[in-house]
Amino acid sequence: MYKVGVIGLGAIAAMYATPASEHPYCHVGGIRQSGKVELAAAAELSEAAREKFAGVWGEAFPALRYYDGSAAMLEKEALDIVAVCVRGPYHYRVVMEAIEAGPRAIFLEKPPSCSLEEMDGMVEAAARKGIPVVVSYSRHWNPHILRLQQLVREGLLGEVKTVVAYCGHYVLSFASHTTDLICQFAGYEPEEVYARGTAKGDAPTGYEPEPTLDHMTIRFANGVTGVQVGGNGEHGSMYAEVFGEKGMLRVGMYTPTVLFDAQGQKLDLEPLQLPAPASVFTVAYDQIADYLDGGPLPHCTDAHFVAVNEIGFGAIESMHTGRAIPLPVPHRTRKVFANE
């Protein structure tokens, strides 16, 4: 069992589920259902948050070692995987601390950074130590989405032409889940992005406020076009419609899967053998453990999360300039308060 240490015991680390949840949507719940990783240590600055965590999860993790901050945990523990579950503006500092400590993998909550300069710093430091950084675009690991990604790669739709996805709100903090969903089906080699959005309100000194997405268009190197609608579609949010030469697939975490042939005829899903549901966090941690056993890199790692983050920052750049932005984004120092 690989040892995981979680930094930050807030909502996504622990509070979106309880030990009773069937498919927990949080790190510790996912770890608990994995047969490959175990929760060894947890760091949290706030005593009240540590107590709240212990009240909900204490009995589920009786041997857990608690620390009052990331520095103390990283100094004491020899961890295989460090999960960084603090808010975006703290990602850079905490990830650099974790890299210094030298775990075998880092699982970082989205959005990975508040600037591309921060991202470049983390990626370079992690690469120097050979530590893969996996970014938690968590819905990516929904078992049926993973299976459909594989089937589309194997030709279910023939050549993919266009991917249209629906999700608005903050472009880095929230809509990035769906930007990643587009890449799951379009590939991770974006070349250019054009976007419109709206930044409202204030941000702390040194930061710009994070804009919400109205719409974006992504041009990929393989000829696929990605379109992200900054709002719900007819079937809800956080889903994509993947158009290929042989048909169309509707796919998402909260939207029923539907497959049509090129004539618009609805097809039976039975032959696709879609898997049973599971906690997306269990699936992600299992992929990381399999990598540590000598398997392939986990999804959303290194170049893949970089592609999604380049699209997000390119979209913001496009909102400011009114022009399509080539990727990688030339301007790396724009600092956005990506705190949600």
Q: Which residues bind ligand NAD (CB under 6 A)?
A: 7-13, 43-46, 49, 69-70, 85-88, 90, 94, 109-110, 136, 138, 173, 340
Q: Considering beta carbons, is residue 43 or 163 the nearer one to ligand NAD? A: 43
| DSSP category for residue 132 | -
3-state secondary structure of 248: strand
Minimal distance in Å, beta carbon 43 to ligand NAD? 4
**Are the beta carbons of 338 and 172 closer than 8 angstroms?**
yes
Which residue sits closest to ligand NAD, CB atoms considered?
Answer: 10
Q: Considering beta carbons, is residue 90 or 260 the nearer one to ligand NAD? A: 90
Nearest Cα residue to 70 out of 31, 109, 101, 49:
101
Minimal distance in Å, beta carbon 48 to ligand NAD? 9
Minimal distance in Å, beta carbon 176 to ligand NAD? 9
CA atoms within 13 A on the CB side of 111: 31
Q: Considering beta carbons, is residue 86 or 224 the nearer one to ligand NAD? A: 86
Q: Is residue 112 reached through a cis peptide bond, with omega within 30 degrees of 0 on the bond before it?
A: no
Minimal distance in Å, beta carbon 174 to ligand NAD? 8
Task: Specify which residues 37 forms β-bridges with.
Answer: 2
Q: Considering beta carbons, is residue 43 or 157 the nearer one to ligand NAD? A: 43
Q: Considering beta carbons, is residue 45 or 274 the nearer one to ligand NAD? A: 45
Minimal distance in Å, beta carbon 258 to ligand NAD? 24
Dihedral sign for Cα 318, 322, 325, 330, please. negative
Minimal distance in Å, beta carbon 237 to ligand NAD? 13
Q: Considering beta carbons, is residue 100 or 340 the nearer one to ligand NAD? A: 340
**Are the beta carbons of 337 and 210 closer than 8 angstroms?**
yes
Minimal distance in Å, beta carbon 302 to ligand NAD? 18
Question: Rg (Cα) of the chain, in Å, rounded?
Answer: 20
Task: Give ∠ CA 39-107-101 in degrees, rounded to 5.
Answer: 80
Q: Which residues contact 46 (CB under 8 A, 6 or more apart)?
A: none
Minimal distance in Å, beta carbon 7 to ligand NAD? 5
3-state secondary structure of 240: strand
- Phi and psi (nearest 5°) for 213? -90, 130
Q: Considering beta carbons, is residue 80 or 109 the nearer one to ligand NAD? A: 109
**Are the beta carbons of 36 and 289 closer than 8 angstroms?**
yes
Q: Considering beta carbons, is residue 13 or 164 the nearer one to ligand NAD? A: 13
| DSSP category for residue 31 | H
**Are the beta carbons of 212 and 231 closer than 8 angstroms?**
no
Task: Determine if residue 8 is left, alpha or beta; phi over 0 gives left, psi from -120 to 50 gives alpha, anything else beta.
Answer: left
Minimal distance in Å, beta carbon 56 to ligand NAD? 13
Which residue is it, tokens 């956005």? 336
Nearest Cα residue to 183 out of 140, 216, 134:
140
Q: Considering beta carbons, is residue 70 or 287 the nearer one to ligand NAD? A: 70
